[in-house]
Structure formats: structure tokens, C-alpha cells
Amino acid sequence: MHLLSASCVCALLTITTTALLRQVAGLETVSGLYGETLEIPCHNGATKEEDIVITKWKYDKGEGISGDLLVKQPSKNAVIMATDEYKDRVSMTANSSLLLSAAKLTDQRTFTCMVVAPENIMEYPINVMIYKSPEGLEISDQAEALEIGKLTKLGTCVAKDASPAANITWLKNNKPLMADGEGISIQTSVLLDPVTGLSTTASTLEYSAKKEDTDAQFTCSTQPTVGSELVSSPVTLTITYSTENIVLQVIAQDPLEEGDNVTLKCVADGNPAPTSFNFHLQGEMVKVEDSNTYTIRNVSRETSGEYKCSLTDDPSMEASKDITVNYLDINLSPSGNIVERVGEALPLTLKIDSSGESKVFWTKDNIMLDKEPKFTALTYSDSGSYECEVTMGLLSRKASFDLNVEGAPVIKQLSKQRSEDAQHKVLICEAEGSPKPAVSWSINGTLLDESPFINGKITHKIKVVPSANLTVSCTVSNEFGIDTRAINVSSYQLDDSDQTKLVVGVVVGLLIATLVIGLGYWVYTKKSKQGSWKTGEKENGSSEEEKKLEEKVEENSQKAEV
């Protein structure tokens, strides 16, 4: 231990005995963290360093007793005066601050820095506070499950070794829980370590769960005086409750048809869920263990009806469901390949047996019909492939028949026309019949065209160059009969139509000539009369000429009439 020089001691005593002004600065507080080095400032620049003669640190032991820590003179090392636990933990910085290592809760006291100047002594008391955050938050003694409506201990949140004691908050889904005396109870206790002075806080939560608490996360948190908030790991507990509702589900393809399988599933809202059920199957009860399903295989229309399931330990709690097995049967008469004679009737019958309302659609040769076909008197155009489709919801059934109408051929029309080049005649024979009739002519001609055989109809065209008037026959035949029709064909130089045109032309020409002659006569007569008036001749002087002209006009008129 270093001793102060005699001159310093004398100076200190002199200052003290001469009762120089002694000032005590206001009390300040410095905070530190447990276990770390704490720096306690001295005068914070209130006294110039060059004016300081002696700097001394001391601490309050309590009951008005102080203990010296260390003292320092300018340009010399600090002298440690402490003989207790502080002797190895204190030191002084260049600006006279006190360094206190490995801070403890017992360091929470007043430390005083005394500064001696030539004409004054100043004291700067500093109050020290030591803080420590909990080592962590942990939820222990967790419950295995929570029962709805029953206040149950959820767990205990522990915050170890803190100063001051931790204040714990419980949270559900990050929302604080407050004790309400009913569904939430929180009990807190604090244990103080006599050696370290640190506190351990334990907070126990009792909670009455609700259904909606399933999958809820419970945590606890604390906000230390120094540092950031601490939050525990989340805890998720199983929520148990008895069954309140039961539902029967039907698992099957849609629509459910005969031959399919259907599974009945009984779903209860209890937790844990029931593991055994009774299935009521049209008067029969089947008990199922360790499962909530029952499968009915190869269902039929007789399977339709009401089905139920219930709890084995509470048969009064049951659920029901109606099952409908859809079926759609159709019978079309006639069917297959149908051959009928033209003109006859063909009855058509479609029988439908279904579990619901159905719709019927008809097509002929893949073309949609607007109504069901009726065959009261078959025609060749009725031939074709017919199909009916009956639907009921998503179910569909089809039936079809191919109709072939047969009969002896009949010539519907036999006609002629002049070709565009006026060099030959075109004869056209239109006929109906089935099978396809063969067409022949009584005259050799060149085949121009034969139409496709559609709906029992065929058209046959030939060209001929007749050198004289003649009668031409068209004959059609098949296995059921024969038909012939004739037509008169004149030579291409002058046929009946040409003669008619010639007569009409002559008559028209004579009429025009008569009109021209009449007009000329009228003009001539008028001029003749004017001339006689001028010359003074008698009007009858030209009677002979007038008579001749009249005879000429009458002759032309007679020719026109002929």
C-alpha cells in the first residue's frame, strides 16, 4: 500500500482545519449490468484537471459509515485503499472515473468521488443500480390437454435470475391474457437467491378452454428494465370435449348408379373423436369398431332409402341421410335393321323406366330432329339411321335402328328441253324407288348425268339428235316392279314448239303490215282532200284511187285473220 506524502497530508489537513467551503453536489444514478464492468463518472468536467490536487473514491457501507476505495494525485498512480471485496475490483481512469468490475447486486449503493482543489473540496455522490435480465423464459409443467369448460392448469412460466424480479405476461395467439376469476387464473411467485440476490419469478396459468382454442398457441413474455422483450417458445395443447353433433356423410360417385359402391362415413365433433359407431342399414344395425366408415357394395335400386349412424356409447345421438340409387332403362321398338315397304305404317314405341324425370332427343343420320319421328305412311325419304338418347341428370342411355324403305319404282316426271347449242335434245327421267331402280331408254342417246341415289330418288339425263319426229320411252325397274312413260320428240329442225312460234310470228307480221297500210291511207286521204280544196276539184274526182286502196287494206286484213 502506498502512503500519501507528508506535504499532501498537511495540505489536506490544512484545508480541512481552515474550514474552507465544502460543497456537496446533487445525487446522480448510474445503471450497470450484472457481471459486467461499470464506469462511475466523477465530476463530469465540473473541476478542471489542472486544479485537482487529490481525487478520492469512497462508498457508503450503511449506518453512516463510509469505506475508502482508492486515492490519486496528479501524475501519479492511484493508490488502492480498500481492504474488503473491492480491493481487486476497483480502478480509476485518466478522467478520475471509477471502474467497478464484475458488478453485483451488492454494488447497489452510493459511491462518492471527492475532489480536492487548492481552495475547495467537492464531493460527487453517485447512486449505483445493477440490473439483470432473466436467463430465459420457459413454460414447464405443461398440461397434456385442456378440457372445454374446465379450469385446468396449462403450465408454469419461469423467469430465472433477474434483477429486478421479472414481470410475466401470458399470451394466447400473441394477445395478452388477463385473470378474470372465471376462465383465466394467474398465480405469480418470486424466489430470491440469498447469495446472488437475484430473483426467480414463476407464473402459473389456469385456463378454461373453448372449442375455438384448438390449435391456439400459448406463450409468456417479460420486458426487462434493460434490454429487449423476452418471449417463450409457444405451446399448443390438445383441446378435449365431448361430442355434441354427429353427421352422416355419403361418399359415392355422382350420379350413384346400380352396381356402384357407396361408403357411409359417420363424423362426430368430439375430441378425441369417437372410434366406434352403429350403422343402421334398412332395418339392420352393424357395429363398427376403430373406424367411422361402412361400405355398401354393388348397390341396386332397392338400396335407395334412409340410412343412419349413431354413437355406440350414446345411441340417442344419431344422424341420417337419404340415399338414391339412380337408374335409367329404355326399350325402343323396333330396333336393329328394319326393312319396310313404301306407303306402309311403322309403329314406334319408346319405353322409359327411370328414378327421375328424363328428357328424350332424336337424331336422323346424326342430324338433330325437333320431335319424335312418326311413320304413318312410309316414304323413301324416311330411310336412314335413327337414334334416340334419353338423359336423366348426368345419366344417359341410347337406342337406335336403321330404316330402309323399299318399293317398286315410279317415274315422277319425264321431260325434254333443247340444249344450249340448239344442236340436240335433252331428255330427263325422274323416278323414285328402292332398291335403286335401273333406267333404260327406247332410243340410243348419250348419257349426260345421273344424280346420286338419295332418299329413293334418281334423275337420269340423256341427249339425242332426232332426224325425224318420234316417241321416246323411259323405263325404270327393280326387284319389286317396273314403270314406263313416253314422250314425243320432234326433229331438231322444227318441232311442235317451233311451229307454234312460226304461226305466232306470221300473225304478228300481218297485223303490223295492216297497221302501216292503214296509216298510209289515212295520210293520203287527208292530203288529197286538202289538194281539192286548193284546186277547186271535186272530191269524187279520186274515187277510183280510194276504192283501190280500200280493197288493198281489206285483202291484208283477211290474210292477217287467216
Residue 543, helix vs strand vs coil:
helix
Residue 459, helix vs strand vs coil:
strand
CATH of domain 246-322: 2.60.40.10
For domain 408-489, the CATH superfamily is Immunoglobulins (2.60.40.10)
% of the chain beyond a pLDDT of 90 = 60
% of the chain beyond a pLDDT of 70 = 84
Residue 348 or 517, more confident: 348
* Confidence at residue 15, expressed as pLDDT on a 0 to 100 scale: 36
DSSP string, 179-218: --SSSEEEEEEEEE-TTT--EEEEEEEEE-B-GGGTT-EE
Task: Encode pLDDT of 252-309 as tens digits.
Answer: 998 899 999 999 999 998 888 899 999 999 889 999 999 999 999 999 999 999 999 9
DSSP tag of 560: H
Fold (topology level) of 28-131: Immunoglobulin-like (2.60.40)
Does the structure show a pLDDT above 60 at 446?
yes
Does the structure show a pLDDT above 80 at 51?
no
Grid coordinates of 492: 331438231
295 near 256, Cβ under 8 Å? no
Fold (topology level) of 136-240: Immunoglobulin-like (2.60.40)
* Confidence at residue 458, expressed as pLDDT on a 0 to 100 scale: 93
Does the structure show a pLDDT above 90 at 50?
no
Average of per-residue pLDDT across 547-554: 49
158 near 140, Cβ under 8 Å? yes
Fold (topology level) of 328-405: Immunoglobulin-like (2.60.40)
- Please determine whether the domains at 136-240 and 328-405 fall in the same fold group of CATH: yes
For 538, other C-beta atoms within 10 Å of its C-beta total 9
Average of per-residue pLDDT across 351-359: 93
- In which band, very low, low, confident or very high, does the pLDDT at 495 lie, cut at 50, 70 and 90? very low
Half-sphere exposure of 84 (CA within 13 A, CB side): 9
Does the structure show a pLDDT above 70 at 444?
yes
- In which band, very low, low, confident or very high, does the pLDDT at 140 lie, cut at 50, 70 and 90? very high
Chain-wide mean pLDDT for the chain? 84
Average of per-residue pLDDT across 157-180: 94
For 303, other C-beta atoms within 10 Å of its C-beta total 18
* Confidence at residue 166, expressed as pLDDT on a 0 to 100 scale: 93
* Confidence at residue 551, expressed as pLDDT on a 0 to 100 scale: 55
208 near 152, Cβ under 8 Å? yes
Grid coordinates of 215: 390449435
234 near 217, Cβ under 8 Å? yes
Task: Encode pLDDT of 389-415 as tens digits.
Answer: 999 988 999 999 999 999 999 999 999
- In which band, very low, low, confident or very high, does the pLDDT at 104 lie, cut at 50, 70 and 90? very high
- In which band, very low, low, confident or very high, does the pLDDT at 466 lie, cut at 50, 70 and 90? confident
Please report, for the chain, the start and end positions of each structural domain, with discontinuous segments joined by +: 28-131, 136-240, 246-322, 328-405, 408-489
pTM over 0.75: no
Average of per-residue pLDDT across 340-345: 94
Task: Encode pLDDT of 507-549 as tens digits.
Answer: 455 677 677 677 766 655 665 544 433 334 334 444 454 455 4
